[in-house]
Amino acid sequence: MAAATDTAPRVDFTTRKPRSPLRDAMNQLFKNKVAIAALVFIVLEIIIAIPPVTDLIAPFPYDRTSLYDNLAPPGAPYTGRAEEYQGKIFILGADYLGRDLLSRTLYGAQVSLAVGFVGATVSLIVGMLIGLISGYSRPAIDNLLMRLVDFLYALPLLVFIILMQVYFKAVARQQSSTVSGQFVLPDWFGWAVALIFGVAVVAGVMLARREDGGGIQYLFIFLAGAIVLSFALFIVLVMRTGRSFMASLVEIDNAFGGMFFLFIALGLLNWLGMARITRGQVLSVKKKEFVEAARAIGATDRRIISQHLLPNILGPAIVYETLAIPGYIFLEAFLSFIGLGINPPRPSWGNMISENYQGLRAAPWTVLVPSVALTLTVLAFNFLGDGLRDAFDPRLRGE
């Protein structure tokens, strides 16, 4: 009897590294050339959009006007007087105020990417939280939350986003007229934020890779914590100068060039689809045998949610959010187009198009450059999203 067990092939189930659905999908994704090309494009764009890198790459500051060079065609040399720009050329031309289009387009990437990622992150976190609670808790709570979602679904969301943007802009104008003197961030603030995020990423990755069942969710939780902590630090700093809470929010908004309130409007209203999807997934996953098995061996709710539900839900959630990013980018472009987005002179692709399209006849490149940037970025997100969807759902492969 003892001999039989010795000769039997030993399969050690306990030490084999668990393969998460996420890792499976990533392996699939790397076989999809178009999606990887899109991913590379997006990563390059993100690197370019990191503020110090943009400052380094962009040939001109985004608000540097040169009246000698207004509507300069692509490739025209700088003819202004300023010493430091002598010999530079406007690679993609200049707009009606002689501002370099290439530089402005590069800075515009900051806005579009920030809006896309913040919109996606907020909607991912809020939507998943609501969806999890709704799907996992008692029917009464589930009903309440889903009626709330139904109700918000029936609202004309864009109309409310416009109203909220008008509200925020008006409050910002009011506050900036009452508060005298500009608020300047201390030098160490950037380093402090970098430190907070560094610690969050390192800790998150370490926890996520832990052998005894970590999980990518820790990374998300830590990142969310880092975001909240950075904002708290900012608000404390501003309020110490004697400003009210609303005024410090306005200061944040100024620091973000008018993006912060856009984030709030986006975040408050765009988690609905995510919540519905998460709830649906929870309802279907929690009836699966492996969850039942986990419960049978006495796993707590917390463990079931973090170890069994979340990893299985995260896939569809990420796919959904990747495909939703173009929507956020479009929304920002539209709001900036009607003058309710980014505060000029900060460039966003939307306000670049709206500023320049009156001069479409004389200088079409002024509109074409931001248009191409916007379209390529959104195209990349769509290709990546399609690739991710195929990777997470093998049934759809090749469609």
Partner 1 sequence: MLQFVIRRIIWTIPVLLLVTFFTFALVRAIPGGPFDFAGDKSLPPAVVKNLEAKYHLNDPMWMQFCSYLIGDAICRPEGSEEGVSSKGVLLGDLGPSFRYRGRTVNDIISTALPISMQLGFLAMLLGIGIGIPAGIIAALKHNTPLDYSATFIAILGVSISNVVLGPFLIWVFALKLGWFPVATWKAEPLFSNIAQQYIAAGEPVPMWVNLIPKPTFDFFHHAVLPVVTLGTGLSAVLARLTRGSLLQVIREDYIRTARAKGLRERAVIVRHALKNSLIPVVTILGPMFAGVLTGTFVVEQIFAIPGLGRHFVTSVGNRDYPVVLGTTLLYAVAIVIANMLVDITYAWLDPRVRLE
Interface with partner 1 (CB under 8 A): 150-151, 153-160, 162-164, 166-167, 170-171, 173-174, 326, 329-330, 333-334, 337-338, 350, 353-354, 357, 360-361, 364, 367-368, 371, 374-375, 378-379, 382-383, 386, 395-396, 398-399
d(CA 276, CA 267): 16
Q: CB of residue 399 vs partner 1: minimum separation in angstroms?
A: 5
* Phi and psi at residue 94, to the nearest 5°: -135, 160
Amino acid at 130: I
187 or 399: CB nearest partner 1 = 399
74 with 91: CB under 8 angstroms? Answer: yes
Q: CB of residue 262 vs partner 1: minimum separation in angstroms?
A: 16
| DSSP structure class, residue 17 | P
Q: How far is CA 58 from the centre of its chain?
A: 23
Q: CB of residue 313 vs partner 1: minimum separation in angstroms?
A: 21
195 or 396: CB nearest partner 1 = 396
Indicate the burial class of 99 (C-beta count within 10 angstroms; 0-12, 13-18, 19 or more).
buried
Amino acid at 183: F
361 with 191: CB under 8 angstroms? Answer: no
* Phi and psi at residue 35, to the nearest 5°: -65, -40
78 or 251: CB nearest partner 1 = 251
Q: CB of residue 353 vs partner 1: minimum separation in angstroms?
A: 6
156 or 181: CB nearest partner 1 = 156
Residue 15: partners with Cβ closer than 8 Å, 6 or more residues away: none
210 or 397: CB nearest partner 1 = 397
Q: CB of residue 155 vs partner 1: minimum separation in angstroms?
A: 6
115 or 219: CB nearest partner 1 = 115
275 or 367: CB nearest partner 1 = 367
217 or 351: CB nearest partner 1 = 351
231 or 357: CB nearest partner 1 = 357
Residue 105: partners with Cβ closer than 8 Å, 6 or more residues away: 92, 347, 349, 352, 369, 370, 373
Q: CB of residue 334 vs partner 1: minimum separation in angstroms?
A: 6
302 or 361: CB nearest partner 1 = 361
- Rounded to whole angstroms, what are the CA distances from 382 to 33, 169, 389? 14, 31, 10
Indicate the burial class of 44 (C-beta count within 10 angstroms; 0-12, 13-18, 19 or more).
exposed
Q: CB of residue 347 vs partner 1: minimum separation in angstroms?
A: 14
d(CA 75, CA 73): 6
- Whole-angstrom Cα Rg for the chain: 25
Query: What's the CA dihedral at 322, 326, 332, 337 to 10 degrees?
Result: 170
Q: CB of residue 86 vs partner 1: minimum separation in angstroms?
A: 33
80 with 98: CB under 8 angstroms? Answer: yes
Q: CB of residue 83 vs partner 1: minimum separation in angstroms?
A: 36
Listed residue (139, 394, 159, 135) closest to 274, CA to CA: 135
Q: CB of residue 320 vs partner 1: minimum separation in angstroms?
A: 14
d(CA 254, CA 237): 15
